[in-house]
Amino acid sequence: MIPLLRLPQGGVTTLFNIPNFRLFNGSNFGDWPFLDPLKDFKYQAAGDKVLADGTRFGVLHIAARDVDGKHYGEPGKKGIEIKSFVWYGDGAKDEFLEHERQHMVIETIRLSIVAQKNLKDGQFKVPPEPKSG
C-alpha cells in the first residue's frame, strides 16, 4: 500500500517521484510515442510518474519557449510560455483529473516565480538547447 497523507482540507497527497525526467528536443520522445512534439517549444522535458512501490501511474511533459511581451500587451519585455501535461490511463476519474488540472496550474505558477527569482540571483542557469535529432 502506498502511504498517503490526508490534508486538513480533506485532500490526499500521493507520494511519487519522476526518476527519469529529462530534456528532449521535441522529436525524440521514444519512451512516450503519444506525446505531442510541440515543434515550436525548444525546451521540453518528460518523465514517468512513479509510486513508491515502482508502479508507473502517469507521464509528466513540460514545454517552455521564449515569448515577446509585445504579443501580450507588454512591449519591450520578454517572457516565457509554459505548457504542462500529465498523461494518465483511461481509468482516471474525471474528478481526479479536474483536481490535477487545478494543481498543475498552481504548481506551474509557483515554480515559475521561484525560477524567476533563481535566475535573477544566479542560482539557476538556463540549460543549453537540446540537440536536434
Alpha-carbon distance of 117 to 16, in angstroms, equals 26
Tell me: the pLDDT tens digits for 77-97?
Answer: 988 889 999 998 888 888 888
The yes-or-no verdict on residue 108 having pLDDT over 90 is no
Contacts of 86-91 with CB under 8 Å at 24 or more apart are 86/49, 86/58, 86/59, 86/60, 86/61, 87/32, 87/34, 87/35, 87/58, 87/59, 87/61, 88/57, 88/58, 89/57, 89/58
Tell me: the pLDDT tens digits for 3-51?
Answer: 443 444 555 567 889 999 988 766 667 788 888 888 888 888 899 999 9
What burial class does residue 42 get, using C-beta atoms within 10 Å of its C-beta: 0-12 exposed, 13-18 middle, 19+ buried? Answer: middle
What does pTM read for this prediction? 0.76
